[in-house]
Structure 1
Amino acid sequence: MRTYRFKVQKSGFGLFLGIAAEAIRLTTPPTTGAPVSDRVWLDASEVHNAYYGNRLALNERELAWLRLGLGKVTGGIELVDTSPYILISVRTLQIVEVDYAEAALAPAIAGWVAAEFSLAPVRCNVSRDTSTGQFTFDWGERPT
């Protein structure tokens, strides 16, 4: 199990989120989690808070951010791993409450995958609209 720490420090805001997960290679479809692609699945049913040791129940928005970030890197996983199914199982989150925004889950899991599967680092620039407080993530994708 690997831990990845996503951190952004800008003049108007800061984000920090640590994520520990494991990649489980399977020959049959997983019995837990949900598919993010044909071969890559996400399971976040047994997530713990690293600082308090208690279990976290992620809400639908948090799960959606995890799916978004994982979806950004599934193509890379499928290129380097030939397992019929790969279950990414999120085990622990390191949440610093003053710097936590659920949106940080997306680049955190994408960074974790890049490290776990030896992929090129994920480029994700973060900005924040000061009037609304909304975060924007630029994944560096070009329109097709």
Structure 2
Amino acid sequence: MRTTSYRLLRGPWGIAVDLTADARLSPGPPAGAEHVAGRVWLDVAAVLNHPAGDRSGWRITGGEAEWLRRGAALAAPAIEARFPGGHTTVTVRRVLFPQADFQPEGLAAALLRWAEEEFGLPAHPVDVAFDRAAGRYVYDW
């Protein structure tokens, strides 16, 4: 299990996400995980059902979980190339972020960074700019 810290500060405020996940290789498709792409699967049940009173992490919504899926999909081709013989399931165990300054796109960037660190993948370039008029970061995936 690995925790990755994603940090972005290019405007008047930043995005900070700590993501804890692990990965499991299997010869066939896993049960209980969602297919992302090719032979890559994602299990986000722990963060969708995180106990409300436990401040060691946050419960995320289904819409926010879509951003985790986006990050996994961006990493999927490199994960498959690294492990050509089986299926990889990424299980997100915990996410933690400041709720005042949060953009769900940071979840995708955090999962992508986690995959790079966990599997020794090359960095996936992600261009980010701060849109002052909109008051938010804009990601160019």
- RMSD over aligned Cα, in angstroms? 1.9
1:9 matched residue in structure 2? 9
Aligned partner of 2:70 among 60, 68, 71? 68
Matched, 1:119 2:121: yes
> 2:56, 2:96 within 8 Å by CA — same for their partners in 1?
no
Distance in 1 between residues matched to 2:58 and 2:107, nearest whole Å: 17
Q: Can you list the C-alpha shifts for 1:81-134, whole angstroms capped at 9, x where unaligned?
A: 134211100001121223322110111100000111101122222223233334
Q: Can you list the C-alpha shifts for 1:43-100, whole angstroms capped at 9, x where unaligned?
A: 1001248x713662x3222111111111111110001113421110000112122332
In the TM superposition, 1:49-68 aligns within 5 A as 52-53=55-56, 56=59, 58-68=60-70
Deviates more, 1:83-92 or 1:15-24: 83-92
TM-score when normalising by structure 2: 0.86
Gaps of 5+ in 1: 140-144
Distance in 1 between residues matched to 2:57 and 2:40, nearest whole Å: 27
Regions of 4+ moved over 3 Å = none
Shift of 1:137: 1.1
Matched, 1:84 2:93: no
TM-score when normalising by structure 1: 0.85
Q: Secondary structure at the match of 1:64?
A: helix
1:100 matched residue in structure 2? 102
Distance in 2 between residues matched to 1:38 and 1:115, nearest whole Å: 21
Give the partner amino acid of 2:95.
Answer: L
Distance in 1 between residues matched to 2:109 and 2:57, nearest whole Å: 24
Give the partner amino acid of 2:114.
Answer: W
How many percent of aligned residue pairs carry the same amino acid? 28
